Each structure stands twice: as structure tokens, then as C-alpha cells.
């Protein structure tokens, strides 16, 4: 991932329960910070937009415009976690599921007309085999993966009640509604509408129970994984891009105290994109 000078704002994979918020006022967007990935397209867009609209430091901004693909949008969201600064992405990458279309014209009007979505990440608390505790936030998903050729053996508890004493699989993940269209979908997990108070629990190549395809859980659930025989069958836990190796226990729950604010053009909200995804487009 390229380095980003966030103070200068020069350059640098569907999220939890989301509730649409009110449109932002014109006054809210007087100071715009542009950040961009290191690709040629993103850097060119950065130069064009900065010259036309100005570019303040992120710490001084009313809104951040992220130029790049979904990976860069996730990086930007992580960088601004909990700060409540609205982020408006414009696609200068490939898929751009989280992004708006790129146009140089009428940016101020687009920002003022944009629809706001407030989301919250998953919080992962992991304990490794040495007893060290680790915490990380995930906007898309928290995943557990086997680290060797041997399959993982993992227990699953929901709200302190054991639901699966032993899952034998390559791993398992918990996905937010936005993340449900990313790795979760590739693992044949369900797409979760953005406004649903649910998270998806999806196994990765399950061997036993062979027919188990996962579960939809209330987004208030506390999910606890236990790694069975972690020395012989080591498992890594990953919160988006943060990886902890050789874990013994992992706890996952929604962090409602950490807001993420995203802006999308009318008719191109995350709700609409997730709905469209379910029909194969």
C-alpha cells in the first residue's frame, strides 16, 4: 500500500449496519481534502481537482474526497475511523463498488446533494498462543484461516452459548452487510442488505459439518471462536488487512462507538448497489 501524506492531503475490497442520514448542508463542505492512491489515473485526478477546487489538509477538512479503488477507499476509511468526517469516493481504480463515478465537473454540487450513510466496523479481539492480546477494526470482515496444510478446527460460541463445538474447515469469517458482497460472497455466503441488523457467519471450504453453509446473526451478537489444538493446527485471524498469527481465541462484535460516514450520489447508494449485486449485475 503506498504511503500517504495525510496532513498535506496530497496522495496516498460491501461494512456493518448502516442507517441513512440527512443530506449535508452547503456550509458543511467549504473545505475539501483530496487524497489519492499512487496510480497514474488517481494522481492525475488529484492534480486536476486540487487545481480547480483547492485542497486543504485532512485535519482541517469538512469532507474528504478519496480517489482510487475500493482498496484505497478502505484504507481511507480506516485512517479516519471514529472521526466522523464524511468521505466521498470517486472511482479511479477497477471495480469501485464503494465509489462514485468520476467526473471533474460540478463536484461541489455533487457533494451537497450526496446521500449520507453512517456505518460501524467490527471489533476483533484476539489472543495468540503466547497469551498476547490484540485488537483491530474491520470494515468488511473478520476472517480466520488455517496457516498450514492441515485444516483448522474451530469452535463457535454465540453470546456465550456454544453453537458448534468443532468446525473442520479452511476457516470461517464474519462479514458486515457491506463486506457481504466481498470475500463473503466469493465464499458462497449470503448478501446482506445494508439496512439489515445482521452479520453473516460463513465457513471457508467446510469439511465437517459438510453441509453447513453458515448463519445470519443479529448484529448485536458477540461471536467467539476457539482454535482447537492451535500448536498442531495454527490459525491466523485477519481484520480487513490486519493479520494476527497463531491465535487461540478470537472475539468479534460490532463497535457502535466508532462511526464511519460515507457519501454517495443519489441513486447510487450502497443499498442500491447491494440490491443490484443480488441480481447478478
Region 123-254: CATH code: 2.60.200.30
Counting DSSP H helices and E strands in the chain, the numbers are: 5, 18
Q: Is 141 annotated as a binding residue?
A: yes
Partners of 252 in the β-ladder: 124, 223
Domain 19-120+258-277, what architecture?
A: 3-Layer(aba) Sandwich (3.40)
Q: Is 183 annotated as a binding residue?
A: yes
Q: Is 140 annotated as a binding residue?
A: yes
Marked catalytic residue, from 5, 10, 60, 70: 70
58-95: per-residue pLDDT in tens? 999 999 999 999 999 999 999 998 888 999 999 998 87
Q: Is 98 annotated as a binding residue?
A: no
Helix, strand, or coil (residue 203): strand
Residue spans of the domains in the chain: they are: 19-120+258-277, 123-254
135-180: per-residue pLDDT in tens? 999 999 999 999 999 999 999 999 999 999 999 999 999 999 888 9
Question: CB count, 10 Å around CB of 93?
Answer: 22
Q: Which three cell numbers stand for residue 13?
A: 475490497
Annotation marks residue 70 as catalytic = yes
Amino acid at each position: 500500500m503506498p504511503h500517504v501524506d495525510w496532513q498535506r492531503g496530497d496522495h496516498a475490497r460491501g461494512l456493518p449496519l448502516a442507517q441513512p442520514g440527512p443530506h449535508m448542508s452547503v456550509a458543511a463542505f467549504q473545505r475539501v481534502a483530496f487524497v489519492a492512491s499512487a496510480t497514474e489515473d488517481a494522481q492525475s485526478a488529484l492534480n486536476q481537482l486540487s487545481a480547480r477546487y483547492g485542497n486543504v489538509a485532512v485535519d482541517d477538512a469538512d469532507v474528504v474526497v478519496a480517489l482510487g479503488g475500493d482498496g484505497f477507499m478502505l484504507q481511507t476509511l480506516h485512517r479516519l475511523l471514529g472521526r466522523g468526517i464524511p468521505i466521498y469516493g470517486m472511482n479511479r481504480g477497477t471495480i469501485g463498488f464503494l465509489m462514485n463515478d468520476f467526473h471533474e465537473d460540478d463536484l461541489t454540487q455533487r457533494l451537497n446533494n450526496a446521500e449520507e450513510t453512517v456505518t460501524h466496523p467490527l471489533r476483533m479481539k484476539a489472543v495468540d498462543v503466547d497469551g498476547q492480546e490484540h485488537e483491530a477494526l474491520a470494515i468488511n470482515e473478520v476472517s480466520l484461516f488455517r496457516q498450514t496444510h492441515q485444516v483448522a478446527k474451530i469452535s463457535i460460541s454465540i453470546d456465550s452459548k456454544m453453537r458448534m463445538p468443532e468446525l473442520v474447515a479452511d476457516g470461517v469469517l464474519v462479514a458486515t452487510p457491506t463486506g457481504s458482497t466481498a470475500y463473503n460472497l466469493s465464499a458462497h455466503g449470503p448478501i446482506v442488505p445494508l439496512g439489515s441488523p445482521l452479520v453473516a457467519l460463513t465457513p471457508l471450504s467446510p469439511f465437517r459439518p459438510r453441509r453447513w453453509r453458515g448463519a445470519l446473526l443479529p448484529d448485536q451478537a458477540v461471536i467467539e471462536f476457539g482454535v482447537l489444538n492451535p500448536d498442531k493446527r495454527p490459525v491466523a485471524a485477519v481484520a480487513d488487512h490486519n493479520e494476527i498469527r497463531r491465535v487461540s481465541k478470537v472475539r468479534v462484535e460490532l463497535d457502535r462507538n466508532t462511526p464511519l460516514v460515507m457519501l454517495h450520489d443519489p441513486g447510487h447508494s450502497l443499498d442500491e448497489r447491494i440490491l443490484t449485486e443480488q441480481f447478478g449485475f
